[in-house]
Structure 1
Amino acid sequence: MNLPEKMDVPKDQLRQMNCEFNPLSRCDGSVMYTQGATVVIAAVLGPIEVKTQNLSIDGSYLECNYRPKAGLPQVKERIREATIRDVLELALLAEAHPHAKMSVQVQELEDRGSIDACAVNSACLAMLIGGLPLKFSFAAVHCIINDQGDYVLDPDQSETFHQRASFTFAFDSVDGDLLLVQTKGSFKIAQFNDIECLCRAASAQIFQFYRSQIAKYHGRSEAIAEKVKEQPEAMEA
Structure 2
Amino acid sequence: MNEIATDKGKVPNDKLREMRCEFNPLSRCDGSVMYSQGSTVVIAAVLGPVEVKTQSLSIDGSYLECNYRPKAGLPQVKERIRESVIQDVLELAVLGESYPRSKMSVQIQELEDRGSIDACAVNAACLAMIIGGLPMKYSFAAVQCIINEDGEYILDPDQRETLHQRASFTFAFDSLEGDLLLVQTKGSFKIAQFNDIECLCRSASANIFQFYRDNIAKYHGRKSSPTSDVKEMETET
Q: Distance in 2 between matches of 1:221 and 1:185?
A: 44
CA deviations on 1:111-163 (whole Å, 9 max, x unpaired) are: 00000000000000000000000000000000000001000000000000001
- Give the corresponding residue for 1:193: 195
Q: 2:54 pairs with 48, 52, 55, which one? A: 52
CA contact (8 A) 2:31 2:128 kept: yes
Cα gap change, 1:139 to 1:49, in 2 (>3 Å): same
Q: Does 1:128 align with 2:136?
A: no
How many residues are treated as equivalent by the alignment?
Answer: 213
- Give the corresponding residue for 2:77: 75
Q: Distance in 2 between matches of 1:207 and 1:56?
A: 32
- Give the corresponding residue for 2:3: none
The equivalences for 1:160-175 within 5 A come to: 160-175=162-177
Q: Distance in 1 between matches of 2:186 and 2:223?
A: 43
CA contact (8 A) 2:217 2:223 kept: no
CA deviations on 1:74-132 (whole Å, 9 max, x unpaired) are: 00000000000000000000000010000000000000000000000000000000000
- Give the corresponding residue for 1:181: 183
CA contact (8 A) 2:140 2:173 kept: yes
The equivalences for 1:16-95 within 5 A come to: 16-95=18-97
| Structure 1 residues without counterparts, runs of 5 or longer | 1-9, 223-237
Q: Distance in 2 between matches of 1:208 and 1:190?
A: 28
Q: Distance in 2 between matches of 1:52 and 1:149?
A: 52
Give identity over the alignment, percent: 83
How high is the TM-score relative to the length of structure 2? 0.89
CA deviations on 1:35-75 (whole Å, 9 max, x unpaired) are: 00000000000000000000012100000000000000000
How high is the TM-score relative to the length of structure 1? 0.89
Q: Distance in 1 between matches of 2:163 and 2:205?
A: 24
Q: Which amino acid aligns with 1:115?
A: I
Q: Distance in 2 between matches of 1:164 and 1:187?
A: 8
- How far 1:221 sits from its partner (Å)? 11
Q: Distance in 2 between matches of 1:168 and 1:111?
A: 16
Question: What secondary structure sits across from 2:143 in the alignment?
Answer: strand
Runs of 4 or more consecutive aligned structure 1 residues displaced over 2 Å after TM superposition: none
Q: Which amino acid aligns with 1:153?
A: L
Q: Distance in 2 between matches of 1:147 and 1:45?
A: 43
Q: Distance in 1 between matches of 2:27 and 2:67?
A: 18
Q: Distance in 2 between matches of 1:74 and 1:147?
A: 28
- Give the corresponding residue for 1:230: none
Q: Which amino acid aligns with 1:140?
A: A
Question: What secondary structure sits across from 1:27 in the alignment?
Answer: coil
Question: What secondary structure sits across from 2:221 in the alignment?
Answer: helix
Q: Does 1:202 align with 2:204?
A: yes
Q: Which amino acid aligns with 1:89?
A: E
Question: What secondary structure sits across from 1:57 in the alignment?
Answer: coil
| Structure 2 residues without counterparts, runs of 5 or longer | 1-11, 225-237
Q: Which amino acid aligns with 1:184?
A: K
Q: Distance in 1 between matches of 2:188 and 2:81?
A: 21
